[in-house]
Structures are given as structure tokens and as C-alpha cells.
Amino acid sequence: MPFYKKVIADVQKNFIKKNTLCGYFYSDFVLTALISKSLKLKSSFKN
């Protein structure tokens, strides 16, 4: 399991306990940020 997926799973678990809706929005936001960051890193390595 990739590291970011483990982080997302932990975030979702913690947030769902408190606030389901907030958890989904937050984890989606984090996942999107991580994916865009890793894509930027990959493209910068190519150059």
C-alpha cells in the first residue's frame, strides 16, 4: 500500500468518527493535493 493511501485511510478513520462529511471532503482534498504534488515531482524529474 502506498504511503499516501495509508495516510488517507488514517485521516478518513479519524474524521469519520468526528464528522463523516468533513472527513470525506478533507481526505479528498488531501488526496488531490498529494496526487498533484507527486505528478509535479514526476514531471520535474523528466525535465
Residue-wise pLDDT for 1-47, tens only, equals 577 788 878 877 776 566 666 666 777 788 788 888 888 877 776 65
**Cβ distance 8 to 27 under 8 Å?**
yes
Query: What is the reported pLDDT for 9?
Result: 81
Cα–Cα distance measured from residue 45 to residue 11, given in angstroms and rounded to the nearest whole number: 29
Query: What is the reported pLDDT for 20?
Result: 62
Query: What is the reported pLDDT for 19?
Result: 63
Query: What is the reported pLDDT for 22?
Result: 63
Is the whole model's pTM more than 0.75, yes or no? no
Query: What is the reported pLDDT for 13?
Result: 76
For the chain, the farthest-separated pair of C-alpha atoms sits apart, in whole angstroms, at: 43
